[in-house]
Structure 1
Amino acid sequence: MADQGDVRAVLEYVPRFRGKIFVVLIEAGLLPEPAIAESLLDLAAMEDVGVKLILGVLGGDLKDLYDWTLECEIMAARLTRPLGEPGAIEEAKAILGRGQTVVADASSNDPLDPQVVDFTLGIGAVKLIALLEEAILIDGEPVPAVRAADADALAISGTVTGAHLLQAAAEACRRGVPRVHVLNGRRQGVLVDELFSNEGVGTMIHADSYRQIRPLREEDIPELLGMIGRSVRRTKLVARNYEDIEARIGDYRVMTIDDNVVGCVALHDYPGENVAEVACLYVKLNHEGRGYGVDLVHHAEALAREKGIPRVFALTTRAADFFEKRVGYSPCDPDALPTTRRQQLEESGRDSKVFEKRL
């Protein structure tokens, strides 16, 4: 039985991918048949949930791969001309318009070459995905996300395997392709593991901000409440309702990865007291251990500095080590709290420890 967390992670992406166009390049002649077969089954599942697909065959027998798509019950139609030739975009749009997946000859192209990028832009794809024998590795490992702006410096650093692919992917992003994924096509299940999780298993190059911390929006409030509910029940976080958060919505920030909310923090001011509280710090379970909590705290501290606030404090029942050892806070007496906050703490009956930091 599939892990429930995995199923939920997949379901998060289904509505976002539905109706979108993905261009998927496959080095069919160089990859193991079991890996190709599993990738095609995964593509069939994506087709079922409404993703519009274009499969570009970089090597191997085009007819064989087309026959495989039919065996996997992909509703495929072959493009009558190679992917980069004039008229290919219009023909591909017509096939997609009929609800079919396009299978195209890309054997005369290098992965991510300008013709492939031209086609991707012309067809309006949101992702260009390459299943290759050679993947991009940095210090021997795939990197979940690389900004296009950082790619050239990385490519010449001497730490990158597949540096030419990294540079080509970055150029595709600079030209307007939102996301380029370069994946190890030998790895079975690589497509689902890459596309239906926030962290992925390959190397994604992106033009915009993949991971960011931004202000909370009103439409985020239900998700935030659902996210922190587990910690509220375990008394790690103070209980909050929709109205509480809405009333102080400007205090809250959320961390998003590929537009999915994965963590939150709040900075509550105490006017006239030259102090602010770092509160409602939470990172989703499947994103713990990656330093996101530290990033959220540092973001809240930066907001305090911008406001000219010289000191911040935090209350916690379970995260004393985190505040003291990871983000440099010091224990302090509850008497150091603003009067209203100290009264709230006393009335709550929570056995919270108090930490502070001078900025």
Structure 2
Amino acid sequence: MKIAGLTWWRNNYGSVLQAYALQRVMNEFENIDYEILNQYSGKVASVDNFYHKIKTFGIRKTIHRIVWKFGTKKLRDRNRALQKFVDEELKISDKRYKVNYIDSANGCYDGFICGSDQIWNPELASLDSIYWLTFVKTGKLKIAYAPSIGIDQVTKEQRKMIRDNLNTFNAVSCREESGRNLISSIMGTEDCETVLDPTLLAERSVWDHICPPRRFTEKYIFVYLLRGTKQQRKLIELYAGFINLKIVTMPFLDNEHINKYDRKFGDIKYWDASPSDFISVIRHAEAVFTDSFHCMIFSCLYHRKFYLFPKIGAHQMNRLTDLQNMLHISPRMLEDNATVRDILSMKAIDWNIVDDIIREKRMKSKSYLKKALGMA
């Protein structure tokens, strides 16, 4: 059975790695031929992609994004490292499916899976986008695997659109419990299941296989802030000085919210990390500070002591707090008035409990996929 996946699979480490993870898991199943549907142009830096971005975001924001990605050699190096991983590790459809003729994909595949990432967030993609599989013809398999809806409330009109979309699915799931509750209330049933993000669904051996050796010989703490504030970075500097460790950081990760303090922050600025390097630098860190969902996941997989900074907006916070609650991890959030003493006094994580929960939920999530594919 030939299955196509619809997701975000470039531009940042989390998106690329979750796409890779679902690809690996899907291709473990017998008689399943899975590939990721190509909704993008072949390369990030292309004329076709440039015009698409202008149409989607407008000229001003598009120019801003281009400067962020390609404005300096270091940013270009990061982009090349991401592209190289995509080219070598992801199985992308040879044919590109633009929105206006994506329905032609029905002739090539037996079914479609949408997910993971925030592809269902109405603030990031419209409710009639391809990520709701609205183009799929009757009789084709339609499965949602761990998409994130990313919001807590919907309007009456949004509720109707979401319900109409999901009534055509063979199987519906969500990544966060808060999202599952919202979708269940919209559908009026309990058919929506909570499943693991693909990066947790894949066995740790998958990540061990692509994880390169330790990059930095001296001990360090790793800081991965998509946004973050000057105040948060100064707290990390105080902590690093107190325990006498270097800071490894990846500057300017979110093009919409570049923090100028990043220019001076960190002892080692790791600009050109590939997705594999991203895993490695987490794996070998003494501690991790982050506001990233996927950085938190890999910290858990590799038993790294980690600390969280709040996201802006309750629905953005849900991704972090839902995962924390699911894994029975005591609160790791550092608020604005946090001190080094607060960091040092934070309760240690029981990794045996975390591992047991991941194993149990991994089995349930794979069972969900197998059932949805008609294999159970």
Q: Please indicate, yes or no, whether the TM-score normalized by the shorter chain is above 0.5.
A: no
Higher Rg: 1
TM-score under structure 1 length normalisation = 0.29
The structure in which a higher percent of residues are helix is 2
The structure in which a higher percent of residues are strand is 1
Which of structures 1 and 2 has the larger relative contact order (alpha carbons within 8 angstroms, sep 6+)? 2
